[in-house]
Structure 1
Amino acid sequence: MKLFSCQCCEQPLFFENTACESCHHPVGYLPGLSMLTALEPAQVAGRWHPMEPQVRHAEVVYCANHAYDVCNWLTSATDQNHTPVCFACRFNRTIPDLSVPGNLERWRKIEIAKHRLFYTLLRLRLPLRNRWEDPEGGLAFDFLDDAPDGSAPVMTGHDNGLITLAIREADDAERERMRVEMGEYYRTLLGHFRHEVGHYYWNVLVRDAGRVEACRSVFGDDREDYQQALQAHYGRPLSTDWREHYVSAYATAHPWEDFAETWAHYLHIVSTLETASAYGVTINPATGTAAVSAPGTLKDPYLRASFDEIMNAWMPLTSAVNSLNRSMGLSDFYPFVLTAGVRRKLAFIHALIRETQALR
């Protein structure tokens, strides 16, 4: 994530801000520029002029979901009788029932994670088509609650572009309980989004782009029956050597899950490296060995850095932050091991994204 600042007073701004805490100008996000901008009122009520010099004369409005305090993205001003929805919110098919107590706050947490996902996808210049543009395979989100009587628990998952997220995942205590029960190192809303969108991009960038055989050579044969593979995964003891080839235990279930888990980790890496670089974080371990590359000197990890440069920056960064967490008595920030086998898979994801960028 970039660092942002107010165009009026240069106060630092954060991605979710809706107002500058210093000069109190309203603030909104311009997805086309990957930029937060302070706003000045236009002549028509509800419309704004960005203070960002590149688009100062444009007229923009907040997404309709800004009224619920779940979105700060901007979109072009349209007819006053039309309810504007921003780029990210156009992918919502079903939102939580806001008449249920607590669901507004759950939705707010979900949207924070989802908007961060879209920030990364746009920065990576990946193709994005919603369900209205592509009714058969476009990307869409259903945020669903369990049945009131508990008879039909919602399962988070992906089905040909449709991502379902169980909104109980927005409850920290419930998500932690599930993490422990399932023996996971890591379980977050943003992690769910990054994983499930990995299934969508397997469809778009692998299946539909003629790369299936190349992908199988790295992740295995996806023609293995998926439901049987999941049943077998949960029904057998996990081998002790999975870390040699998989980034997580769940990745061993099926090649599709291996791809999605690896995809999610690649997004974790480039997003975190951009944040570290924006803050000027540099890592130079005092171990007596040769100096290593550091995030502060890294090229743009979304568009320019090579895979080796990304790995050379990522490994010392995670080692340092894990050590800081341990010093505070906390769990590791990044509790994963990137072996040579895992790096080979991450390198495939990196090459897949770079090839896609070159075609756009």
Structure 2
Amino acid sequence: MKKFKCGVCANTVYFENFRCLNCGHALGFHPGRLEMAALAPGRDKRLREARRGPSSPMVYCANEAHGVCNWIVTSHPDSGFCDACVLNRTIPNLADPQNVRAWGDFERAKKRLIYSLLRFGLPLDGAPAGKGPLTFDFINDAVTGHLDGVITIAVGEADSVERERQRQAMDETYRSLLGHLRHESGHYYWMLLIEDTGRIDEFRHLFGDEREDYGAALERHHVQGPPPDWSLRHVSAYASSHPWEDWAETWAHYLHMVDAIDTSVAHRIEPRSTRFFSGTARAIRGQDAYRSNSFSTLIERWVPLTLALNDINRSMGHSDFYPFVIPEIAVAKLGFVHRLIRESTT
């Protein structure tokens, strides 16, 4: 995530801000420009950009009224919703204040996912590939998962206590709302980028044959656990359960990697890198991680960043920032994700 500035006073503002804390101007995220806009009252209860030349009137997403969205409507004016909220199919009953709070947490995580997809230039609608749009259900008493383009997230995942209970019960090292969304989005983009394309053979060479019985594979994983040598081939234990899950976990880790590198560059905290093969240290240049053509450069930047941030977290008495070790085979899988995104968005 890059840093943003107020268009009026140039104060640093953040992705979730509704208002500049320095000058008080309203703020809205413009998904078409991937920028924060400083806003002022316009005509007919609409908004205009403050201190800019003539521009089209702007309106907040309808979900701004609930305090869960600061995005500007750009592509779906008839719906009243922004590019991210229009993807919602189901939300919980907002008469319950706990549901409103949980939905706010969900929207903040989902907006970060959508921001990354827009930065990559990935489609949010699979119509050209004969698929439906990316769709979200955020509901009570649900099982988190993906089916035919619909990502379902259980409301309980927004409860930090419940999420930690589930993390321990599932023997996971990491569990977050954003992590779930990135993982489940991987299933959607498998449909768009791999299924019914010429890339399926390369996928099977790296991840395995997805035609393996999915239900039986998950049942085996939950009963028996991962194979003893899973860490030699996968980014996580769950990735070893089935090729689809290996892909989704790898996709999620790639999104973790790119957005964290992007944020570290924005804050100028990226450490020096040691090249894997030469063993020499060199200064990192601030290349755009979302546009890098070289996966080897990305992974060279990622490893020292995770080591540094893990140490910082430990200094504060917290668990590791990135509690994973990436084996060489998983690096190749991450490289496959990188190539697919580049080839699909150029």
**Bin of the TM-score, shorter chain as denominator length:** over 0.9
Is residue 187 from structure 1 mapped to residue 175 from structure 2 by the alignment? yes
Aligned equivalent of 2:92? 96
Instruction: Tell me the CA shift for residue 136 of structure 1.
Output: 5.6
Is residue 178 from structure 1 mapped to residue 174 from structure 2 by the alignment? no
Instruction: Tell me the CA shift for residue 77 of structure 1.
Output: 9.7
Aligned equivalent of 2:49? 50
Is residue 41 from structure 1 mapped to residue 36 from structure 2 by the alignment? no
Within 2, Cα distance between the matches of 1:259 and 1:106? 28
Q: Closer, same or farther in 2 for the Cα pair 1:78/1:278, shift >3 Å?
A: closer
Q: Closer, same or farther in 2 for the Cα pair 1:213/1:36, shift >3 Å?
A: same
Aligned equivalent of 2:71? 73
Structure 1 segments, 4+ long, off by >6 Å, are: none
Q: Which amino acid aligns with 1:19?
A: R
Aligned 1:124-163 pairs, distance under 5 A? 124-129=120-125, 137-146=132-141, 154-163=142-151
Is residue 343 from structure 1 mapped to residue 338 from structure 2 by the alignment? no
Q: Which amino acid aligns with 1:314?
A: W
The percent identity for this pair of structures is 46
Q: How many pairs align?
A: 342
Aligned equivalent of 2:20? 20
Is residue 291 from structure 1 mapped to residue 281 from structure 2 by the alignment? yes
| Residues 248 and 336, structure 1, Cα contact 8 Å, conserved in 2 | yes
SS of equivalent residue, structure 1 residue 128: coil
Within 1, Cα distance between the matches of 2:239 and 2:51? 43
Q: Alignment partner for residue 156 of structure 2, among 161, 168, 174?
A: 168
Q: Which amino acid aligns with 2:229?
A: D
Aligned equivalent of 1:2? 2
| Residues 32 and 74, structure 2, Cα contact 8 Å, conserved in 1 | no
Instruction: Tell me the CA shift for residue 238 of structure 1.
Output: 2.8
Is residue 106 from structure 1 mapped to residue 94 from structure 2 by the alignment? no
Q: Closer, same or farther in 2 for the Cα pair 1:348/1:136, shift >3 Å?
A: closer
Instruction: Tell me the CA shift for residue 130 of structure 1.
Output: 7.3
The alignment's TM-score, normalised by the length of structure 1, stands at: 0.90
| Residues 261 and 270, structure 2, Cα contact 8 Å, conserved in 1 | no
Instruction: Tell me the CA shift for residue 323 of structure 1.
Output: 1.0
Instruction: Tell me the CA shift for residue 312 of structure 1.
Output: 0.8
| Residues 76 and 82, structure 2, Cα contact 8 Å, conserved in 1 | no
Instruction: Tell me the CA shift for residue 138 of structure 1.
Output: 2.3
Within 1, Cα distance between the matches of 2:272 and 2:251? 28
Instruction: Tell me the CA shift for residue 83 of structure 1.
Output: 5.3
Aligned equivalent of 1:123? 119
Q: Which amino acid aligns with 2:297?
A: E
Instruction: Tell me the CA shift for residue 282 of structure 1.
Output: 3.0
Q: Closer, same or farther in 2 for the Cα pair 1:195/1:237, shift >3 Å?
A: closer
TM-superposition CA deviations, 1:266-298 (whole Å, max 9, x none): 000000000000011131379xx621453xx23
Aligned equivalent of 2:197? 209
Aligned equivalent of 1:236? 224
Aligned equivalent of 2:32? 32
Gaps of 5+ in 2: none
Instruction: Tell me the CA shift for residue 75 of structure 1.
Output: 1.3
Gaps of 5+ in 1: 147-153
